[in-house]
């Protein structure tokens, strides 16, 4: 049987890590895989998480299952974080998942259970796994314009034009903040325009929010998600705790759905339980338990907010330093977009040939589409990166 399997295409971003790890050069620079790194190149465990983990180790008395969709304390804590009071709580349904990736998968499985066959619209570009998950589930996929490759900003006019042509009942996937891979984000006025347009089209928004707190701040980054939740009768949200809590390997995510009324919410909750049962029965709890403790304990939360803000400011500083270094190297402001982008990523605007040249000649690794992880831009390496970028002709 196994001899009939076909070779699957490798994930190019994960493959980049293997190339980097195999590179013997001491001065190599990793701007590729999407994990946060501090000034020393480490991905540290946050103080609040370590404190919560220590307390949990001392007080946890059982490892028995939680509910099929995870612990209700986690559901409520994440609803407070992502949605605040933007929507009545009895219209919400929840499902803890293995990371944000699991949440995206589960939302699309839930859509399939409805028996409808809507087109799933993704931004062009988007996180690569969005498309592969949807196609794996044999869903109909569309792309709407999002990024202007010349200005390195949101191509809002084209975005509105494309979304005005979608069909009623289609699902539109929007990045809640810190767009991956571009770093270009909607402002509040644009969020309002998109909300009105999707309401007019009777579309269903699906928010992927994986970097809350990395952009403008915890509350500010939730503006678009909360706006849509306050306006739409139905909505899907996939949230990840990997980045803003630094618990990547714990695989902690959640599906939150907004339904028209509590009765439909109850039915949706049962269907989310069914989806979990068919995939892995009970979701992981360790990461979710830590997140719940951090969000509900005033001291732990204050420590988390403070540390997350340090991370955010550090990435803004890295953007400023890199833009300044590039300005000096090329005698122009064509890289100033780096200072306007937010989040962990920016798309530099290089060809794949130039990206390969950066890797082969300078040991600088970034994703093939020239997405760079801004957290990898440390002060001691910023001039090296800037010189190499200009030297390869970007």
Residues with catalytic roles: 127, 208, 210, 243
CB 233 within 8 A of CB 204: no
d(CA 153, CA 100): 25
* DSSP SS3 for 143: strand
CB 377 within 8 A of CB 22: no
CB 255 within 8 A of CB 103: yes
* DSSP SS3 for 10: coil
Pull the structure tokens for residue 62.
Answer: 């059982």
d(CA 212, CA 350): 27
Alpha-carbon dihedral angle through residues 24, 27, 32, 34, given to the nearest 10 degrees: 100
d(CA 150, CA 50): 44
CB 83 within 8 A of CB 223: no
């Amino acid at each position: 049987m196994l001899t009939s399997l076909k070779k699957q295409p490798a994930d190019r971003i994960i493959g980049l890590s293997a190339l980097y790890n195999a590179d013997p050069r001491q001065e190599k620079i990793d701007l590729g895989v999407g994990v946060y790194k501090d000034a020393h190149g480490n991905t540290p465990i946050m103080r609040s998480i370590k404190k919560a983990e220590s307390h949990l180790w001392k007080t946890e008395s059982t490892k028995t299952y939680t509910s099929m969709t995870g612990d209700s304390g986690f559901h409520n804590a994440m609803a407070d974080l992502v949605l605040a009071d933007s929507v009545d709580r009895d219209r919400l349904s929840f499902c803890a998942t293995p990371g944000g990736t699991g949440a995206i998968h589960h939302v699309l499985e839930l859509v399939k259970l409805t028996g409808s066959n809507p087109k799933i619209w993704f931004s062009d570009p988007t996180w690569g796994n969005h498309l592969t998950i949807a196609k794996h589930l044999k869903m109909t996929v569309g792309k709407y314009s999002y990024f202007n490759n010349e200005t390195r900003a949101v191509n809002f006019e084209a975005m509105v034009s494309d979304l005005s042509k979608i069909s009623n009942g289609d699902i539109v996937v929007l990045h809640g903040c810190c767009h991956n891979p571009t770093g270009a984000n909607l402002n509040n006025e644009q969020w309002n325009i998109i909300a009105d347009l999707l309401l007019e089209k009777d579309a269903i928004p699906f928010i992927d929010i994986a970097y809350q707190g990395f952009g403008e701040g915890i509350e500010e980054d939730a503006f678009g998600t909360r706006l849509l939740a306050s306006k739409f009768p139905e909505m899907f949200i996939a949230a990840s705790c990997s980045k803003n809590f630094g618990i990547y390997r714990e695989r902690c995510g959640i599906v939150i759905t907004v339904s028209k009324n509590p009765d439909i919410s109850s039915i949706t909750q049962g269907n989310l339980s069914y989806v979990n049962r068919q995939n892995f029965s009970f979701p992981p709890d360790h990461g979710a338990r830590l997140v719940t403790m951090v969000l509900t304990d005033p001291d732990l939360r204050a420590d988390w907010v403070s540390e997350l803000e340090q991370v955010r400011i550090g990435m803004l500083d890295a953007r400023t330093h890199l833009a300044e270094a590039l300005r000096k190297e090329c005698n122009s402001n064509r890289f100033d977009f780096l200072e306007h982008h937010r989040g962990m990523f920016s798309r530099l605007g290089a060809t794949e040939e130039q990206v390969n040249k950066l890797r082969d000649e300078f040991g600088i690794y970034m994703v093939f589409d020239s997405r760079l992880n801004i957290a990898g831009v440390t002060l001691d390496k910023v001039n090296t990166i800037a010189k190499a970028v200009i030297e390869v002709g970007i």
